[in-house]
A and B are shown apart, each in its own frame.
Chain A
Protein backbone atom coordinates (compact mmCIF):
# COMPACT_ATOMS: atom_id res chain seq x y z
CA UNK A 1 0.00 0.00 0.00
CA UNK A 2 1.67 3.17 -1.18
CA UNK A 3 -0.14 6.24 0.02
CA UNK A 4 1.78 9.37 -0.75
CA UNK A 5 2.63 11.23 2.40
CA UNK A 6 3.28 14.46 0.54
CA UNK A 7 0.17 16.65 0.49
CA UNK A 8 -1.19 17.74 -2.88
CA UNK A 9 -3.63 20.50 -3.69
CA UNK A 10 -5.35 22.24 -6.59
CA UNK A 11 -7.09 25.58 -6.20
CA UNK A 12 -10.16 27.07 -7.89
CA UNK A 13 -11.23 23.73 -9.35
CA UNK A 14 -14.94 24.63 -9.38
CA UNK A 15 -15.63 27.47 -11.82
CA UNK A 16 -19.00 28.52 -10.38
CA UNK A 17 -18.05 28.77 -6.72
CA UNK A 18 -16.39 31.87 -5.24
CA UNK A 19 -13.49 29.73 -4.12
CA UNK A 20 -12.66 26.05 -4.16
CA UNK A 21 -9.86 23.62 -3.49
CA UNK A 22 -9.10 19.96 -3.88
CA UNK A 23 -6.67 18.49 -1.41
CA UNK A 24 -5.29 15.03 -0.89
CA UNK A 25 -3.00 13.82 1.83
CA UNK A 26 -2.37 10.45 3.52
CA UNK A 27 -5.10 8.71 1.54
CA UNK A 28 -7.79 11.31 2.11
CA UNK A 29 -9.11 13.38 -0.78
CA UNK A 30 -11.46 16.27 -0.09
CA UNK A 31 -12.97 18.93 -2.35
CA UNK A 32 -14.24 22.15 -0.83
CA UNK A 33 -16.25 25.05 -2.16
CA UNK A 34 -16.63 28.40 -0.46
CA UNK A 35 -19.31 30.97 -1.18
CA UNK A 36 -19.43 34.23 0.62
CA UNK A 37 -20.02 36.64 2.04
CA UNK A 38 -23.61 36.22 0.85
CA UNK A 39 -26.95 37.12 2.34
CA UNK A 40 -27.87 34.96 5.33
CA UNK A 41 -31.35 33.70 5.89
CA UNK A 42 -33.34 35.79 8.34
CA UNK A 43 -33.50 33.08 10.97
CA UNK A 44 -29.73 32.42 10.79
CA UNK A 45 -28.39 35.96 10.55
CA UNK A 46 -26.35 37.47 13.34
CA UNK A 47 -26.47 41.24 13.89
CA UNK A 48 -22.74 41.67 14.49
CA UNK A 49 -20.92 38.89 12.70
CA UNK A 50 -21.00 36.56 9.74
CA UNK A 51 -22.46 33.10 10.13
CA UNK A 52 -20.01 30.40 9.08
CA UNK A 53 -21.88 27.42 7.72
CA UNK A 54 -19.86 24.22 7.31
CA UNK A 55 -21.36 21.26 5.51
CA UNK A 56 -19.50 17.92 5.41
CA UNK A 57 -20.63 15.37 2.85
CA UNK A 58 -19.37 11.79 3.17
CA UNK A 59 -17.90 9.87 0.24
CA UNK A 60 -20.92 7.58 0.12
CA UNK A 61 -24.40 7.93 1.48
CA UNK A 62 -26.05 10.78 3.32
CA UNK A 63 -24.46 12.62 6.21
CA UNK A 64 -25.34 11.65 9.73
CA UNK A 65 -24.42 12.39 13.30
CA UNK A 66 -20.74 11.85 12.57
CA UNK A 67 -20.74 14.54 9.91
CA UNK A 68 -22.68 16.93 12.18
CA UNK A 69 -19.99 16.42 14.82
CA UNK A 70 -17.20 17.14 12.32
CA UNK A 71 -19.11 20.21 11.13
CA UNK A 72 -19.39 21.62 14.64
CA UNK A 73 -15.67 21.13 15.28
CA UNK A 74 -14.69 22.76 12.01
CA UNK A 75 -17.23 25.54 12.36
CA UNK A 76 -15.86 26.72 15.68
CA UNK A 77 -12.25 26.57 14.44
CA UNK A 78 -12.89 28.36 11.15
CA UNK A 79 -14.95 31.10 12.84
CA UNK A 80 -11.84 31.90 14.82
CA UNK A 81 -9.68 32.62 11.78
CA UNK A 82 -12.26 34.23 9.46
CA UNK A 83 -12.81 37.93 10.17
CA UNK A 84 -16.50 37.37 10.84
CA UNK A 85 -16.96 40.79 12.44
CA UNK A 86 -16.28 42.39 9.05
CA UNK A 87 -19.43 40.96 7.51
CA UNK A 88 -22.39 41.31 9.86
CA UNK A 89 -25.70 39.74 8.80
CA UNK A 90 -24.00 37.67 6.09
CA UNK A 91 -23.19 34.04 5.54
CA UNK A 92 -20.00 32.27 4.56
CA UNK A 93 -20.82 28.81 3.32
CA UNK A 94 -18.20 26.07 3.20
CA UNK A 95 -19.10 22.73 1.65
CA UNK A 96 -16.64 19.86 2.10
CA UNK A 97 -17.10 16.79 -0.04
CA UNK A 98 -15.07 13.78 1.07
CA UNK A 99 -14.01 11.90 -2.04
CA UNK A 100 -11.91 9.07 -0.75
CA UNK A 101 -10.60 7.73 2.53
CA UNK A 102 -7.75 5.26 3.01
CA UNK A 103 -8.70 1.61 3.14
CA UNK A 104 -7.56 -0.74 5.82
CA UNK A 105 -5.61 -3.57 4.23
CA UNK A 106 -5.73 -5.81 7.25
CA UNK A 107 -9.36 -5.59 8.25
CA UNK A 108 -12.33 -5.90 5.98
CA UNK A 109 -13.49 -2.30 6.06
CA UNK A 110 -17.07 -1.59 6.77
CA UNK A 111 -18.42 1.83 7.54
CA UNK A 112 -18.67 1.93 11.27
CA UNK A 113 -21.26 4.59 11.77
CA UNK A 114 -20.89 5.12 15.48
CA UNK A 115 -17.15 5.73 15.69
CA UNK A 116 -15.54 9.14 15.60
CA UNK A 117 -13.50 10.06 12.61
CA UNK A 118 -10.65 12.19 13.90
CA UNK A 119 -8.00 11.40 11.28
CA UNK A 120 -10.00 13.15 8.57
CA UNK A 121 -10.22 16.48 10.40
CA UNK A 122 -6.80 17.78 9.23
CA UNK A 123 -7.70 17.07 5.60
CA UNK A 124 -11.07 18.80 6.02
CA UNK A 125 -9.58 21.81 7.78
CA UNK A 126 -6.72 22.15 5.33
CA UNK A 127 -9.07 21.99 2.35
CA UNK A 128 -11.38 24.56 3.93
CA UNK A 129 -8.49 26.95 4.56
CA UNK A 130 -7.24 26.59 0.98
CA UNK A 131 -10.74 27.18 -0.41
CA UNK A 132 -11.17 30.24 1.83
CA UNK A 133 -7.86 31.61 0.56
CA UNK A 134 -8.94 30.94 -3.00
CA UNK A 135 -12.21 32.80 -2.39
CA UNK A 136 -10.23 35.70 -0.85
CA UNK A 137 -12.39 35.69 2.26
CA UNK A 138 -10.68 38.06 4.72
CA UNK A 139 -8.98 36.07 7.46
CA UNK A 140 -7.04 36.78 10.61
CA UNK A 141 -4.46 34.09 9.90
CA UNK A 142 -4.09 30.81 8.07
CA UNK A 143 -4.17 27.44 9.80
CA UNK A 144 -2.45 24.09 9.55
CA UNK A 145 -3.54 20.84 11.16
CA UNK A 146 -2.14 17.43 11.93
CA UNK A 147 -3.22 14.15 13.46
CA UNK A 148 -1.00 12.15 15.79
CA UNK A 149 -1.70 8.68 17.13
CA UNK A 150 -0.03 7.09 20.14
CA UNK A 151 0.65 3.51 19.12
CA UNK A 152 1.92 0.89 21.61
CA UNK A 153 5.06 -0.92 20.54
CA UNK A 154 5.91 -3.69 23.00
CA UNK A 155 6.43 -1.98 26.32
CA UNK A 156 6.95 1.50 24.88
CA UNK A 157 4.72 3.80 22.89
CA UNK A 158 5.47 5.58 19.69
CA UNK A 159 4.02 8.71 18.03
CA UNK A 160 2.67 8.18 14.56
CA UNK A 161 1.97 11.21 12.42
CA UNK A 162 -0.79 10.75 9.82
CA UNK A 163 -1.47 7.19 11.03
CA UNK A 164 -2.63 4.50 8.64
CA UNK A 165 -5.96 2.71 9.33
CA UNK A 166 -3.90 -0.17 10.76
CA UNK A 167 -2.16 2.16 13.21
CA UNK A 168 -5.48 3.63 14.20
CA UNK A 169 -6.89 0.21 15.03
CA UNK A 170 -4.20 -0.50 17.57
CA UNK A 171 -3.65 3.07 18.75
CA UNK A 172 -4.13 3.87 22.43
CA UNK A 173 -5.16 7.43 21.68
CA UNK A 174 -5.64 9.72 18.69
CA UNK A 175 -5.15 13.48 18.78
CA UNK A 176 -5.97 16.21 16.30
CA UNK A 177 -4.24 19.54 16.65
CA UNK A 178 -4.45 22.65 14.54
CA UNK A 179 -2.38 25.81 14.78
CA UNK A 180 -2.82 29.25 13.29
CA UNK A 181 0.02 30.89 11.40
CA UNK A 182 0.72 32.84 14.60
CA UNK A 183 1.61 29.52 16.34
CA UNK A 184 -1.56 29.67 18.42
CA UNK A 185 -3.35 26.44 19.21
CA UNK A 186 -6.60 26.52 17.25
CA UNK A 187 -8.02 23.07 17.79
CA UNK A 188 -7.21 20.17 20.12
CA UNK A 189 -9.38 17.07 20.10
CA UNK A 190 -8.31 13.81 21.71
CA UNK A 191 -9.76 10.34 21.89
CA UNK A 192 -8.65 7.35 24.01
CA UNK A 193 -6.48 6.88 27.11
CA UNK A 194 -3.38 9.01 27.49
CA UNK A 195 -1.27 10.68 30.13
CA UNK A 196 -0.40 14.34 30.38
CA UNK A 197 3.17 13.51 29.37
CA UNK A 198 1.92 11.77 26.24
CA UNK A 199 -0.25 14.73 25.37
CA UNK A 200 2.74 17.05 25.75
CA UNK A 201 4.75 14.86 23.36
CA UNK A 202 1.86 14.83 20.90
CA UNK A 203 1.63 18.60 21.15
CA UNK A 204 5.32 18.98 20.38
CA UNK A 205 5.15 16.61 17.42
CA UNK A 206 2.13 18.36 15.92
CA UNK A 207 3.66 21.76 16.48
CA UNK A 208 6.81 20.68 14.67
CA UNK A 209 4.75 19.72 11.63
CA UNK A 210 2.35 22.65 11.65
CA UNK A 211 4.52 25.53 12.82
CA UNK A 212 7.90 25.17 11.20
CA UNK A 213 9.18 28.71 10.70
CA UNK A 214 9.04 29.86 7.11
CA UNK A 215 12.63 31.11 7.04
CA UNK A 216 14.18 27.70 7.54
CA UNK A 217 11.81 25.84 5.25
CA UNK A 218 13.92 26.14 2.13
CA UNK A 219 17.39 26.01 3.61
CA UNK A 220 16.92 23.25 6.16
CA UNK A 221 14.85 20.94 4.00
CA UNK A 222 17.80 18.69 3.26
CA UNK A 223 18.96 18.22 6.83
CA UNK A 224 15.50 17.66 8.29
CA UNK A 225 15.28 14.24 9.85
CA UNK A 226 12.92 11.73 8.31
CA UNK A 227 10.62 11.56 11.30
CA UNK A 228 9.79 15.24 11.12
CA UNK A 229 6.93 14.66 8.70
CA UNK A 230 5.61 17.04 6.09
CA UNK A 231 5.96 20.77 6.58
CA UNK A 232 2.34 21.93 6.34
CA UNK A 233 3.00 25.64 6.55
CA UNK A 234 5.53 25.59 3.75
CA UNK A 235 3.12 23.52 1.66
CA UNK A 236 0.32 26.04 2.19
CA UNK A 237 2.53 28.93 1.22
CA UNK A 238 3.96 27.36 -1.91
CA UNK A 239 0.47 26.32 -3.07
CA UNK A 240 -0.81 29.86 -2.64
CA UNK A 241 2.25 31.39 -4.28
CA UNK A 242 1.64 29.30 -7.40
CA UNK A 243 -2.00 30.40 -7.52
CA UNK A 244 -1.25 34.08 -6.97
CA UNK A 245 1.49 34.04 -9.61
CA UNK A 246 -1.03 32.60 -12.08
CA UNK A 247 -3.66 35.19 -11.12
CA UNK A 248 -1.23 38.06 -11.51
CA UNK A 249 0.38 36.85 -14.74
CA UNK A 250 -0.35 40.26 -16.29
CA UNK A 251 1.96 42.14 -13.93
Chain B
Protein backbone atom coordinates (compact mmCIF):
# COMPACT_ATOMS: atom_id res chain seq x y z
CA UNK B 1 0.00 0.00 0.00
CA UNK B 2 1.31 3.39 -0.95
CA UNK B 3 2.08 5.62 2.00
CA UNK B 4 -0.57 8.24 1.38
CA UNK B 5 -1.19 11.15 3.72
CA UNK B 6 -4.29 9.61 5.37
CA UNK B 7 -4.33 5.86 4.71
CA UNK B 8 -7.28 3.57 5.36
CA UNK B 9 -6.39 1.07 8.07
CA UNK B 10 -7.90 -2.17 9.35
CA UNK B 11 -7.60 -3.48 12.92
CA UNK B 12 -4.08 -4.72 13.61
CA UNK B 13 -2.46 -2.99 10.63
CA UNK B 14 1.03 -1.63 11.11
CA UNK B 15 1.16 2.15 10.98
CA UNK B 16 3.95 3.67 8.94
CA UNK B 17 6.23 5.36 11.51
CA UNK B 18 6.62 8.37 9.22
CA UNK B 19 2.90 9.11 9.67
CA UNK B 20 3.12 9.34 13.45
CA UNK B 21 3.38 13.02 14.36
CA UNK B 22 6.42 14.17 16.29
CA UNK B 23 6.49 17.22 18.50
CA UNK B 24 9.25 18.50 20.72
CA UNK B 25 7.21 19.47 23.77
CA UNK B 26 3.70 18.08 23.67
CA UNK B 27 3.11 14.40 24.39
CA UNK B 28 1.52 12.36 21.61
CA UNK B 29 -2.24 12.08 22.05
CA UNK B 30 -4.12 9.05 20.76
CA UNK B 31 -7.76 9.47 19.84
CA UNK B 32 -10.51 6.94 19.22
CA UNK B 33 -9.71 3.71 17.41
CA UNK B 34 -6.05 3.45 18.37
CA UNK B 35 -4.32 1.54 21.12
CA UNK B 36 -0.84 1.73 22.44
CA UNK B 37 1.00 -1.49 23.11
CA UNK B 38 4.02 -0.71 25.26
CA UNK B 39 6.77 0.06 24.57
CA UNK B 40 6.29 1.61 21.16
CA UNK B 41 3.54 0.06 19.04
CA UNK B 42 0.48 2.03 18.00
CA UNK B 43 -2.14 -0.24 16.48
CA UNK B 44 -5.59 0.57 15.05
CA UNK B 45 -8.52 -1.34 16.59
CA UNK B 46 -11.23 -0.34 14.11
CA UNK B 47 -11.44 0.04 10.35
CA UNK B 48 -11.26 3.65 9.25
CA UNK B 49 -9.10 6.46 8.00
CA UNK B 50 -6.01 7.37 9.97
CA UNK B 51 -5.95 11.12 10.63
CA UNK B 52 -3.02 12.92 12.17
CA UNK B 53 -2.72 16.47 13.43
CA UNK B 54 0.86 17.72 13.53
CA UNK B 55 -0.04 20.93 15.37
CA UNK B 56 -1.84 19.24 18.26
CA UNK B 57 0.46 16.22 18.10
CA UNK B 58 -2.50 13.88 17.99
CA UNK B 59 -3.77 11.03 15.84
CA UNK B 60 -7.04 9.18 15.64
CA UNK B 61 -9.14 6.96 13.38
CA UNK B 62 -12.06 8.54 11.58
CA UNK B 63 -14.92 6.04 11.24
CA UNK B 64 -18.68 5.78 11.45
CA UNK B 65 -20.68 3.55 13.75
CA UNK B 66 -23.94 3.43 15.63
CA UNK B 67 -23.00 2.10 19.06
CA UNK B 68 -21.88 4.80 21.48
CA UNK B 69 -19.08 4.01 23.91
CA UNK B 70 -18.87 6.75 26.58
CA UNK B 71 -15.70 8.77 26.82
CA UNK B 72 -14.96 11.71 29.14
CA UNK B 73 -15.96 15.26 28.10
CA UNK B 74 -18.41 14.12 25.43
CA UNK B 75 -21.69 16.03 25.23
CA UNK B 76 -24.55 13.54 25.19
CA UNK B 77 -28.33 13.46 25.22
CA UNK B 78 -29.62 10.97 27.76
CA UNK B 79 -33.04 9.76 28.72
CA UNK B 80 -33.86 9.54 32.43
CA UNK B 81 -34.86 5.99 33.35
CA UNK B 82 -35.51 6.35 37.07
CA UNK B 83 -34.47 8.34 40.09
CA UNK B 84 -32.61 6.94 43.09
CA UNK B 85 -32.07 8.70 46.43
CA UNK B 86 -29.41 11.10 45.16
CA UNK B 87 -28.98 10.42 41.46
CA UNK B 88 -30.80 9.78 38.22
CA UNK B 89 -30.16 6.70 36.09
CA UNK B 90 -29.82 7.96 32.53
CA UNK B 91 -29.82 5.88 29.35
CA UNK B 92 -27.30 6.91 26.68
CA UNK B 93 -27.88 4.17 24.09
CA UNK B 94 -30.28 1.25 23.88
CA UNK B 95 -29.48 -1.99 25.75
CA UNK B 96 -26.48 -0.56 27.58
CA UNK B 97 -26.12 -0.07 31.30
CA UNK B 98 -27.33 3.29 32.59
CA UNK B 99 -25.12 6.28 33.26
CA UNK B 100 -25.40 8.11 36.58
CA UNK B 101 -26.38 11.78 36.89
CA UNK B 102 -26.26 13.10 40.49
CA UNK B 103 -29.22 15.22 41.59
CA UNK B 104 -26.84 17.99 42.58
CA UNK B 105 -25.04 18.14 39.21
CA UNK B 106 -27.37 20.85 37.88
CA UNK B 107 -26.90 24.61 37.91
CA UNK B 108 -27.81 26.08 41.29
CA UNK B 109 -29.09 22.77 42.60
CA UNK B 110 -29.25 22.20 46.34
CA UNK B 111 -30.84 19.42 48.36
CA UNK B 112 -34.08 21.43 48.46
CA UNK B 113 -34.12 22.95 44.98
CA UNK B 114 -33.22 20.44 42.34
CA UNK B 115 -34.84 19.73 38.98
CA UNK B 116 -37.52 17.08 39.25
CA UNK B 117 -37.11 14.82 36.23
CA UNK B 118 -39.66 12.12 35.52
CA UNK B 119 -38.82 8.87 33.73
CA UNK B 120 -38.50 9.59 30.01
CA UNK B 121 -37.22 13.16 30.38
CA UNK B 122 -34.29 14.16 28.18
CA UNK B 123 -31.14 15.78 29.53
CA UNK B 124 -28.20 17.36 27.75
CA UNK B 125 -25.15 16.43 29.78
CA UNK B 126 -21.38 16.09 29.75
CA UNK B 127 -19.66 12.79 30.52
CA UNK B 128 -17.38 13.31 33.53
CA UNK B 129 -16.22 9.78 34.10
CA UNK B 130 -15.93 7.01 31.58
CA UNK B 131 -14.20 3.90 32.75
CA UNK B 132 -14.64 0.44 31.37
CA UNK B 133 -15.03 -1.03 34.84
CA UNK B 134 -17.65 1.47 36.01
CA UNK B 135 -20.88 2.96 34.72
CA UNK B 136 -20.44 6.40 33.13
CA UNK B 137 -21.09 9.53 35.21
CA UNK B 138 -22.68 12.68 33.85
CA UNK B 139 -23.04 16.34 34.87
CA UNK B 140 -25.26 19.18 33.70
CA UNK B 141 -23.11 21.95 35.17
CA UNK B 142 -19.54 23.02 34.61
CA UNK B 143 -17.47 21.96 37.61
CA UNK B 144 -15.18 24.98 37.25
CA UNK B 145 -17.67 27.82 36.73
CA UNK B 146 -20.78 26.40 38.38
CA UNK B 147 -22.82 27.51 35.33
CA UNK B 148 -24.99 25.29 33.15
CA UNK B 149 -23.35 26.46 29.89
CA UNK B 150 -26.24 25.19 27.83
CA UNK B 151 -26.54 21.84 29.61
CA UNK B 152 -29.57 20.69 31.55
CA UNK B 153 -33.04 19.25 31.04
CA UNK B 154 -34.40 19.44 27.49
CA UNK B 155 -38.03 20.50 27.72
CA UNK B 156 -40.42 19.81 24.85
CA UNK B 157 -39.16 18.90 21.40
CA UNK B 158 -38.20 15.46 20.20
CA UNK B 159 -35.02 13.39 19.92
CA UNK B 160 -33.97 11.76 16.65
CA UNK B 161 -31.40 8.99 16.28
CA UNK B 162 -28.56 9.52 13.82
CA UNK B 163 -25.24 7.76 13.23
CA UNK B 164 -22.33 8.70 15.47
CA UNK B 165 -20.47 10.02 12.43
CA UNK B 166 -23.18 12.57 11.63
CA UNK B 167 -23.44 13.59 15.30
CA UNK B 168 -19.71 14.24 15.32
CA UNK B 169 -19.92 16.30 12.14
CA UNK B 170 -22.81 18.35 13.53
CA UNK B 171 -20.77 19.06 16.67
CA UNK B 172 -17.79 20.36 14.71
CA UNK B 173 -17.12 24.08 15.18
CA UNK B 174 -17.39 24.60 11.43
CA UNK B 175 -19.80 21.83 10.53
CA UNK B 176 -20.39 23.18 7.03
CA UNK B 177 -16.78 23.53 5.92
CA UNK B 178 -15.16 20.71 7.90
CA UNK B 179 -18.08 18.34 8.33
CA UNK B 180 -20.02 18.83 5.11
CA UNK B 181 -23.42 19.23 6.79
CA UNK B 182 -25.37 22.30 5.88
CA UNK B 183 -28.88 20.97 6.28
CA UNK B 184 -29.68 22.78 9.55
CA UNK B 185 -28.42 26.15 8.26
CA UNK B 186 -30.41 25.66 5.05
CA UNK B 187 -33.61 24.91 6.97
CA UNK B 188 -33.03 27.98 9.11
CA UNK B 189 -32.48 30.09 6.00
CA UNK B 190 -35.84 28.89 4.67
CA UNK B 191 -37.48 30.66 7.59
CA UNK B 192 -38.05 27.75 9.97
CA UNK B 193 -37.60 28.56 13.65
CA UNK B 194 -36.21 25.69 15.72
CA UNK B 195 -33.47 24.89 18.18
CA UNK B 196 -31.32 21.79 18.31
CA UNK B 197 -28.98 20.01 20.68
CA UNK B 198 -26.60 17.36 19.35
CA UNK B 199 -25.42 14.49 21.53
CA UNK B 200 -22.25 12.62 20.70
CA UNK B 201 -24.19 9.43 21.42
CA UNK B 202 -26.05 9.82 18.13
CA UNK B 203 -29.10 11.71 19.31
CA UNK B 204 -30.28 15.06 18.00
CA UNK B 205 -32.94 16.94 19.94
CA UNK B 206 -35.10 19.31 17.92
CA UNK B 207 -37.52 21.78 19.45
CA UNK B 208 -39.88 24.28 17.88
CA UNK B 209 -43.27 25.89 18.46
CA UNK B 210 -44.71 23.96 15.54
CA UNK B 211 -44.75 20.17 15.56
CA UNK B 212 -44.55 20.24 11.76
CA UNK B 213 -41.16 21.93 11.89
CA UNK B 214 -39.82 19.40 14.40
CA UNK B 215 -40.78 16.47 12.20
CA UNK B 216 -39.42 18.16 9.09
CA UNK B 217 -36.04 18.94 10.67
CA UNK B 218 -35.83 15.40 12.05
CA UNK B 219 -36.63 13.88 8.69
CA UNK B 220 -34.09 16.09 6.95
CA UNK B 221 -31.40 14.92 9.38
CA UNK B 222 -32.34 11.24 9.09
CA UNK B 223 -32.38 11.37 5.30
CA UNK B 224 -29.05 13.19 5.19
CA UNK B 225 -27.62 10.47 7.38
CA UNK B 226 -29.10 7.42 5.70
CA UNK B 227 -28.50 8.61 2.16
CA UNK B 228 -24.94 9.89 2.83
CA UNK B 229 -26.00 13.13 1.19
CA UNK B 230 -23.40 15.70 0.16
CA UNK B 231 -23.95 19.44 0.50
CA UNK B 232 -25.51 19.73 -2.96
CA UNK B 233 -27.98 16.92 -2.30
CA UNK B 234 -28.80 18.40 1.11
CA UNK B 235 -29.85 21.60 -0.67
CA UNK B 236 -32.13 19.63 -2.96
CA UNK B 237 -33.60 17.70 -0.02
CA UNK B 238 -34.35 20.89 1.93
CA UNK B 239 -36.03 22.44 -1.12
CA UNK B 240 -38.13 19.31 -1.60
CA UNK B 241 -39.17 19.14 2.05
CA UNK B 242 -40.03 22.84 2.23
CA UNK B 243 -42.13 22.54 -0.92
CA UNK B 244 -43.95 19.58 0.60
CA UNK B 245 -44.72 21.49 3.77
CA UNK B 246 -46.30 24.49 2.08
Contacts and interface: CB of A to CB of B under 8 A. Distances in A.
Nearest to B6: A251
A241 B67 contact: no
B228 A35 contact: no
What does DSSP make chain A's interface, helix, strand, loop or mixed?
Answer: mixed
A138 B49 contact: no
Nearest to A240: B47
A139 B11 contact: yes
A37 B64 contact: no
A38 B95 contact: yes
Contact of B65 (A18, A39, A180): A18
B69 interface: yes
A140 B65 contact: no
A142 interface: yes
A250 B169 CA distance: 9
B1 A37 contact: no
A251 B49 contact: yes
Interface string A87-101: 111100000000000
B97 A250 contact: no
Contacts of B65: 18-19, 135-136
A144 to B, nearest CB: 11
B1 A214 contact: yes
Contacts of A15: 226
Contacts of A137: 46
Interface in A192-251: 214-215, 236-237, 240-241, 243-251
A141 B12 contact: yes
Interface in B72-114: 94-97
Contacts of A142: 10-12
A-B pairs, 7 with minimum CB distance = A250-B180, A141-B12, A136-B65, A138-B45, A139-B11, A247-B64, A38-B95
Interface of B: 1, 8, 10-13, 33, 35, 45-49, 62-67, 69, 94-97, 132-133, 165, 169, 179-181, 226, 228, 230
